[in-house]
């Protein structure tokens, strides 16, 4: 193999097939020139081809890179846009929830914005006497079931504070007539223990001397003690009215630990403390209905009574209250309407919505009432007997007349038989008394809730007295 110098460099000589052919013809000079041009043309063609391939490869790479970046950017933008939409939706949902919450709080706040209004009290109790024609009400004689014996040798029913009233006895008790009816304080046969609400003889003697009674109760340490505002109560009322607070031992112990111990006469402020032993019900709410409804039985010689829930402080003179809501109105029973609800069906739904009592027990009570003719009462007409069929029963003002006493016993019996939510049984009891005694009117005055708020100051309960019943 020969070496040739080209441009000062040595390259090995490479002979192809064409060179062999030309050499076989004697290495003609013309053939040599053709061979050199062929090699030069091949080198140029290969160079151009490689350039085009490189160019196409570069263009293709650029295109692939461009489209890849474009697709990546679009995917990233779509993801980012989707995330923005998601965040916007979340913000919108959050705003809607906040607005709904604010609306609920606003509505709730509106429901709670209840204010007192003016009550037309007399300026003073001086010279105040009961009107001569005031007691012109329906009169009849009421006696009460004191003991229940066994109806048969096989009757093993345990004695109950409310007794064992049959449906027939219950139906007859709604008639305003001379009768003996169940009204709490029912004792069992001889030898059986007390059914509850036991008060010592000294306190019973005190209560029997009361002509006008203002009473309240705290059982199960459910409230703080609220003393009546002494400076707003006349000396006449302080001297002539019994202010009685019923407590159990647990509550007395709690109050004493807080510095509210009775003095040597048994008083805390204006309140005469009466201790109740052997509470008749496990449900403290139901036990509280005894002094609330049966004041005519606890104060047997009293002509008037005012009931005050323990969550309230009395800020008005009791004598002026009786004059304003009973004498002036010629009413024998006065109670305020509810601050929000006036339809008894709404009260049923609200009790179930807030789990105030076992739903099944509420349904059983109202199924019974509807089967006995209770309409879906909603006061809306001028001739309706009451402006509302849902009371705010925390303040009750009573004259101890036969119709007032009968209504109180009947209302208590409904609480004893069914649920302790007395607002559920008020309308039924009142309308049934009216329906069964068309010739013997019951003069009940329902005053405004804002007037009730003018008489008392409201507080929150210390704690729930007991959970909703399951039976």
pLDDT for position 379: 66
Answer yes or no: are the C-beta atoms of 294 and 409 closer than 8 Å: yes
- Is the pLDDT at 140 greater than 80? The verdict is yes
**Cβ count within 10 A of residue 112:** 9
60 burial level (CB within 10 Å; 0-12, 13-18, 19+): exposed
- Is the pLDDT at 291 greater than 80? The verdict is yes
- Is the pLDDT at 153 greater than 90? The verdict is no
pLDDT for position 254: 95
Confidence of residue 458 (pLDDT cuts 50, 70, 90): confident
Kindly state the average pLDDT of the residues 72-84. 50
User: 179-181 and 142-144 as β-strands: parallel, antiparallel, unpaired?
Assistant: parallel
Kindly state the average pLDDT of the residues 280-286. 96
Which of 58-72, 243-257, 330-344 is modeled with the greatest confidence?
Answer: 243-257
- Is the pLDDT at 20 greater than 50? The verdict is no
Please write the tens of the pLDDT for every residue from 192-243.
Answer: 999 999 999 999 999 999 999 999 999 999 899 999 999 999 999 999 999 9
Which of 31-40, 49-58, 339-348, 403-412 is modeled with the greatest confidence?
Answer: 403-412
Kindly state the average pLDDT of the residues 250-268. 96
Determine what percent of the chain is predicted with pLDDT higher than 70: 75
- Is the pLDDT at 463 greater than 80? The verdict is no
- Is the pLDDT at 302 greater than 50? The verdict is yes
Residue 105 domain-assigned? no
pLDDT for position 397: 98
Q: Which domain holds residue 188?
A: 142-150+157-458
Please write the tens of the pLDDT for every residue from 328-370.
Answer: 999 999 999 988 888 888 899 999 999 999 999 999 999 999 9
Please write the tens of the pLDDT for every residue from 98-138.
Answer: 444 444 444 444 455 788 999 999 999 999 999 999 999 99
- Is the pLDDT at 70 greater than 90? The verdict is no
Which of 37-41, 103-107, 262-266 is modeled with the greatest confidence?
Answer: 262-266
* CA-closest candidate to residue 271, choices 261, 279, 280: 261
pLDDT for position 143: 98
In the block, tokens 């019900």 appear at 281
Distance CA 459, CA 227 (A): 12
Query: What pTM did the predictor assign?
Result: 0.75
pLDDT for position 191: 87
Q: Minimum mean pLDDT among 69-78, 112-121, 276-285, 395-404: which range?
A: 69-78
Residue 118 domain-assigned? no
- The number of distinct structural domains making up the chain is 1
pLDDT for position 104: 45
E strand or H helix at 9: strand 9-12
Confidence of residue 71 (pLDDT cuts 50, 70, 90): low
pLDDT for position 342: 83
Distance CA 31, CA 25 (A): 9
DSSP states along 299-354? STT-SEEEEE-TTEEE-S-HHHHHIIIIITTT-SEEEEEPSS---HHHHHHHHHHT
pLDDT for position 383: 73
More confident of the two residues 228 and 468: 228
Residue 22 domain-assigned? no
Residue 335 domain-assigned? yes
Residue 54 domain-assigned? no
- Is the pLDDT at 33 greater than 60? The verdict is no
209: CB partners within 8 A, 6+ apart:
242, 301
pLDDT for position 332: 98
Residue 463 domain-assigned? no
Answer yes or no: are the C-beta atoms of 446 and 388 closer than 8 Å: yes
Residue 343 domain-assigned? yes
CA distances to 213, 388, 402, 427, 465 from 391, rounded to whole Å, are: 22, 7, 21, 9, 21
Answer yes or no: are the C-beta atoms of 39 and 56 closer than 8 Å: no
Q: Minimum mean pLDDT among 40-54, 83-97, 424-438: which range?
A: 83-97
Strand runs labelled E in 192-325: 212-218, 242-247, 267-268, 271-275, 304-308, 312-314
- Is the pLDDT at 87 greater than 70? The verdict is no
Q: Minimum mean pLDDT among 11-15, 41-45, 182-186, 454-458: which range?
A: 11-15
On average, the pLDDT of the chain sits at 83
- Is the pLDDT at 389 greater than 70? The verdict is yes
Which of 4-13, 28-37, 198-207, 365-374 is modeled with the greatest confidence?
Answer: 198-207
| CATH code of the domain covering residue 441 | 3.90.550
- Is the pLDDT at 179 greater than 80? The verdict is yes
Determine what percent of the chain is predicted with pLDDT higher than 90: 64
pLDDT for position 137: 96
Confidence of residue 285 (pLDDT cuts 50, 70, 90): very high
pLDDT for position 154: 53
């Amino acid at each position: 193999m020969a070496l040739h110098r080209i441009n000062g460099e040595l390259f090995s000589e490479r002979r192809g097939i064409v060179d062999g052919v030309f050499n076989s013809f004697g290495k003609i000079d013309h053939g040599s020139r053709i061979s050199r041009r062929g090699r030069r043309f091949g080198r140029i063609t290969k160079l151009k081809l490689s350039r085009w391939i490189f160019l196409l490869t570069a263009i293709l790479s650029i295109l692939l890179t461009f489209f890849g970046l474009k697709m990546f950017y679009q995917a990233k933008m779509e993801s980012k846009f989707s995330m923005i939409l998601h965040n916007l939706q979340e913000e919108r949902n959050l705003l809607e929830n906040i607005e709904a919450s604010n609306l609920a709080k606003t509505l709730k706040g509106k429901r709670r914005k209840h204010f007192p209004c003016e009550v037309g009290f007399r300026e003073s109790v001086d010279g105040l006497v009961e009107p001569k024609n005031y007691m012109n009400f329906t009169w009849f004689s009421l006696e009460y079931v004191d003991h229940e014996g066994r109806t048969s040798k096989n009757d093993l029913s345990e004695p109950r504070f409310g007794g064992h009233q049959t449906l027939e006895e219950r139906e007859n008790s709604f008639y305003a007539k001379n009768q003996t009816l169940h009204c709490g304080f029912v004792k069992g046969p001889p030898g059986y223990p007390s059914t509850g609400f036991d008060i010592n003889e000294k306190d019973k003697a005190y209560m029997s001397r009361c002509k006008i009674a203002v009473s309240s109760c705290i059982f199960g340490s459910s409230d703080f003690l609220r003393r009546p505002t002494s400076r707003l109560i006349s000396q006449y009322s302080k001297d002539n009215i019994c202010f009685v607070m019923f407590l159990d031992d647990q509550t007395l112990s709690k109050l004493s630990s807080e510095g509210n111990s009775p003095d040597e006469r048994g008083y805390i402020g204006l309140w005469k403390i009466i201790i109740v032993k052997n509470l008749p019900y496990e449900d403290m709410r139901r036990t509280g209905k005894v002094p609330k409804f049966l004041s005519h039985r606890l104060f047997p010689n009293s002509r008037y009574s005012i009931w005050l829930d323990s969550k309230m402080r009395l800020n008005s003179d009791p004598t002026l209250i009786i004059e304003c809501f009973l004498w002036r109105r010629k009413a024998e029973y006065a109670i305020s309407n509810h601050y929000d609800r006036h339809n008894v069906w709404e009260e049923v739904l609200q009790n179930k919505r807030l789990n105030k009592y076992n739903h099944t027990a509420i349904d059983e009570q109202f199924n019974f009432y509807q089967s006995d003719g209770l309409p879906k009462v909603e006061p809306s007409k001028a001739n309706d007997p009451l402006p509302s069929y849902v009371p705010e029963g925390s303040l009750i003002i009573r004259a101890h007349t036969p119709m007032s006493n009968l209504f109180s016993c009947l209302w208590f019996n409904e609480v004893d038989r069914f649920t302790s939510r007395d607002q559920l049984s008020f309308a039924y009891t009142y309308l049934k008394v009216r329906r069964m005694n068309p010739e013997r009117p019951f003069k009940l005055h329902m005053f405004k809730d804002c007037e009730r708020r003018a008489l008392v100051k409201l507080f929150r309960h210390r704690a729930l007295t007991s959970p909703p019943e399951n039976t």
